[in-house]
Amino acid sequence: MATHRFNETIPSELDAAERIQDRIIALLEQEGFSAREVFGMRLALEEAIVNAIKHGNRMDPGKTVRIQCEVDPTRVYVEVEDQGPGFNPIDIPDPTAVENLEKPGGRGIMLMRAFMTRVEYVGKGNQVLLEKVRDPSES
Amino acid sequence: MAAGQRRLDIEDAGDVTIARFVDKKILEENNIQVIGNQLYGLIEEDGRKKIVLDFSNVEYLSSAALGKLITLNNKVKSAKGKLRLCGIRPDIYEVFAITKLNTVFDIKPDRDQALAGF
């Protein structure tokens, strides 16, 4: 069973974020993940990596984001680590609460959780682990 | 792509303005900013009150794009206008449903139904 693995450090630039997302998505497509799984993975990667660049590193060109990725035919595992101070996801208010529904921010983590099998913030909260276990009924 | 590039096709149908997204992905921050500015301009500069946003080309969007849509919806409401969304494919509709934004926005299946009775 083929496992694709890589570990890459990217600058805090949105173009670099898009390129690495495309690289991971190409591996999912190569392994035959369903269109829905690919959609969810792209969304989760976008949220995790853009959060790392914008909120973690605050677009500081002197800081980088480390991305570790493993893709095999049964699962995708991605770690995204920024060089920011970290945060506690419990501090993010529920964006679906009535008082927050019309506020523009705060939905990224919720979307990651909805589309991934596991989303975990570790350490001081500057590292997020994303795991998607393939659903055999979808492929 | 240049930041100033047009991101929306604008069309008028009577007193309704239809804005169709040109991009397949509404993800990248600069693009979202350009789209937001073009949409806000429809309300704030052109004084349009009824806007249909056509998503039929859109395959991906991010939470940053949702944020822009919410701000637009709030601007439309404060200008006493109305906003409807249409042509949203099932994957993206799920994003609206997860975040409960399907209860905030007036969403119609297609352009004809969005224009009906608007």
Interface predicted TM-score (ipTM) of this complex, two decimals: 0.92
pLDDT reported for residue B66: 93
Provide, rounded to the nearest whole percent, the portion of chain A with pLDDT above 70: 99
Given a cut of 90, whether residue B23 has pLDDT beyond it is no
Residue B28: pLDDT band with limits 50, 70, 90: low
Kindly state the average pLDDT of the residues A90-104: 93
Residue A105: pLDDT band with limits 50, 70, 90: confident
Asked if residue B50 lies in contact with residue B15, where contact means CB atoms within 8 angstroms, the answer is yes
Among residues B65, B77, B86, B74, the alpha carbon closest in space to that of A102 is found at B74
Note whether B68 contacts A: Cβ–Cβ < 8 A: yes
In this structure, the number of other CB atoms found within 10 A of the CB of residue A35 comes to 12
Q: What token pair was written down for B69? A: 């849509």
* Higher-confidence position of A113 and B42: A113
Q: What is the pLDDT of residues A69-81, one digit of tens each?
A: 999 999 999 999 9
Kindly state the average pLDDT of the residues A41-65: 96
Q: What is the pLDDT of residues A57-68, one digit of tens each?
A: 999 999 999 999
Note whether B95 contacts A: Cβ–Cβ < 8 A: yes
How many whole angstroms separate alpha carbon B32 and alpha carbon B39? 10
pLDDT reported for residue B2: 43
Note whether A56 contacts B: Cβ–Cβ < 8 A: no
The whole-angstrom distance between residue B21's C-alpha and the CA centroid of its chain comes to 8
pLDDT reported for residue B3: 45
Characterize the bridge pairing of strands A75-81 and A118-122. Answer: unpaired
> Closest partner residue to A104 among B30, B60, B70, by Cβ?
B70
Residue from B100, B102, B104 whose CB has the most chain A CBs within 10 Å, to mutate: B100
Asked if residue B46 lies in contact with residue B39, where contact means CB atoms within 8 angstroms, the answer is no
Measured between CA atoms, how close is B3 to chain A, in angstroms?
Answer: 13
Residue from A107, A115, A116, A138 whose CB has the most chain B CBs within 10 Å, to mutate: A107
Q: What is the pLDDT of residues B40-53, one digit of tens each?
A: 888 888 888 899 99
Given a cut of 50, whether residue A3 has pLDDT beyond it is yes
Residue B29: pLDDT band with limits 50, 70, 90: low
Q: Measure CA of the first residue to CA of the last residue in chain A; give whole Å.
A: 17
pLDDT reported for residue B108: 97
3-state secondary structure of B79: coil
Note whether A3 contacts B: Cβ–Cβ < 8 A: no
Given a cut of 80, whether residue B16 has pLDDT beyond it is yes
Given a cut of 60, whether residue A136 has pLDDT beyond it is yes
Given a cut of 80, whether residue B116 has pLDDT beyond it is yes
How many whole angstroms separate alpha carbon A70 and alpha carbon A74? 11
3-state secondary structure of B82: strand
Q: What is the pTM of this model?
A: 0.91
Q: Identify the residue whose tokens are 């049964």.
A: A74
* Contact list, B100 vs chain A (CB under 8 Å): 96, 101
pLDDT reported for residue B1: 41
How many whole angstroms separate alpha carbon A43 and alpha carbon A22? 12
Asked if residue B53 lies in contact with residue B81, where contact means CB atoms within 8 angstroms, the answer is no
DSSP bridge pairs for A100: none
Note whether B114 contacts A: Cβ–Cβ < 8 A: no
Kindly state the average pLDDT of the residues A9-36: 95
Asked if residue B103 lies in contact with residue A101, where contact means CB atoms within 8 angstroms, the answer is yes
Using a 10 angstrom Cβ sphere, with 0-12 exposed, 13-18 middle and 19 or more buried, the burial of residue A86 is middle
Residue from A21, A53, A111, A112 whose CB has the most chain B CBs within 10 Å, to mutate: A111
Note whether A98 contacts B: Cβ–Cβ < 8 A: no
Note whether A107 contacts B: Cβ–Cβ < 8 A: yes
